Structure 1
Amino acid sequence: MNHYHRQLLLAASPAAVYQAVATQHGLRSWWTQSCDVATTVGDKATFRFGEHHKVMQINSLEPGREVRWHCVEALINIDAFTRKDEWVGTDIVFRLTPQPGGKTLLDFDHIGLTPDFECFEVCERGWNQYLGSLQSLVETGQGTPFIPEVTDCSA
């Protein structure tokens, strides 16, 4: 397996982790505050990071077990990248397995995000940061999501 994969043991129940990865409130609390997330398989979720964005089709929502998205649109607006939509066609999967003591084993895969992508290193650092934010959210109640800049329109 050469795509991005990370496994985390989270001190939170599968139900709590599922709420964090499957709901707009949860995703705004650890990934990006600028997102619109549907809650029905087949619908879409849009995640914005300033001038960058991703649109995901929701392919699986199994409460307490799995969330799976398929990227249908992306813009990674970095000047050095010749291809700014590399995420299109990739899949993001959160698999949740209950563990003793009310914990959850999270198996996270970004299938298709491979080292031959121009964005791999940037995205790998991003996932490492935001999965840490997810862990913090479910364990302490406080994540560190992307917060869009507020511009002063009165100037």
Structure 2
Amino acid sequence: MKSYQQSLSIKASPAAVYAALTTVEGLRAWWTQDCAGGVAVGDTLEFRFSECYKDMRIEKLQADSEVRWLCTRAHIVAESVSLADEWVGTQLVFHISDAGLGKTQLDLEHIGLLPSLQCYALCQNGWQHFLASLQQYLETGTGTPFAVASDQQISSTERRVAA
């Protein structure tokens, strides 16, 4: 079976796309506003979507060409998903390449996100939304990330204590 893949042609430079994938500010602008963590290889990024979460260890950073994460912790809350940690062990690989004329080709491969997983349809819809948000953010300055009500946000320290 083939892992999930999606490609985009974005009116932005490879450096801008890379920054949106490798800085907490960039990630908050298109994926989820509740994002924290480090930005170097070996560091962990924590992504929160209300009660759902995904922790990603940064595996590879190659300036303006590749970003690779490994999911080390996950919890998906959805009626159709009884295995809340299906993302654990999956890898997200973002390949970035200059497409010329002020455009960048972004190819996402979510290795291990297979059609046989319970969360596949939910995640496929999610990736379509959030990658469109990434494109919108890079082309207009405003994305559509997941937003959490301020009373629901908790600090990274509180998350670790609760875990």
Q: Same fold (TM over 0.5)?
A: yes
Structure 2 counterpart of 1:50: 50
CA contact (8 A) 1:77 1:84 kept: yes
Pair 1:140 & 2:140 matched: yes
> What secondary structure does 2:150 align onto?
coil
Q: How far does residue 100 in structure 1 lie from its aligned partner after superposition?
A: 1.1
Hey, what's the Cα distance between the residues in 2 that align with 1:131 and 1:35?
Answer: 16
Structure 1 counterpart of 2:161: none
CA contact (8 A) 1:23 1:37 kept: no
Hey, what's the Cα distance between the residues in 1 that align with 2:110 and 2:37?
Answer: 18
Hey, what's the Cα distance between the residues in 2 that align with 1:151 and 1:58?
Answer: 29
CA contact (8 A) 1:21 1:67 kept: yes
Q: How far does residue 150 in structure 1 lie from its aligned partner after superposition?
A: 3.2
For 1:90, give the aligned amino acid.
T
CA contact (8 A) 2:34 2:148 kept: yes
> What secondary structure does 2:56 align onto?
strand
Hey, what's the Cα distance between the residues in 1 that align with 2:100 and 2:146?
Answer: 32
Structure 2 counterpart of 1:120: 120
Please provide the CA RMSD for this pair.
1.3
Unaligned runs of 5+ in 2: 153-163
Residues 1:78 and 1:44: Cα distance change in structure 2 (over 3 Å):
same
Structure 2 counterpart of 1:86: 86
Q: How far does residue 56 in structure 1 lie from its aligned partner after superposition?
A: 0.5
Q: How far does residue 82 in structure 1 lie from its aligned partner after superposition?
A: 1.9
For 1:121, give the aligned amino acid.
A
Q: How is 1:23-62 mapped onto 2 (pairs within 5 angstroms)?
A: 23-62=23-62
TM-score under structure 1 normalisation?
0.94
Hey, what's the Cα distance between the residues in 2 that align with 1:127 and 1:101?
Answer: 26
**Poorly superposed stretches of 4+, deviation over 4 Å:** none
CA contact (8 A) 1:10 1:138 kept: yes
Structure 1 counterpart of 2:102: 102
> What secondary structure does 2:47 align onto?
strand
Hey, what's the Cα distance between the residues in 1 that align with 2:134 and 2:151?
Answer: 27
Hey, what's the Cα distance between the residues in 2 that align with 1:126 and 1:80?
Answer: 14
TM-score under structure 2 normalisation?
0.90
Structure 1 counterpart of 2:156: none
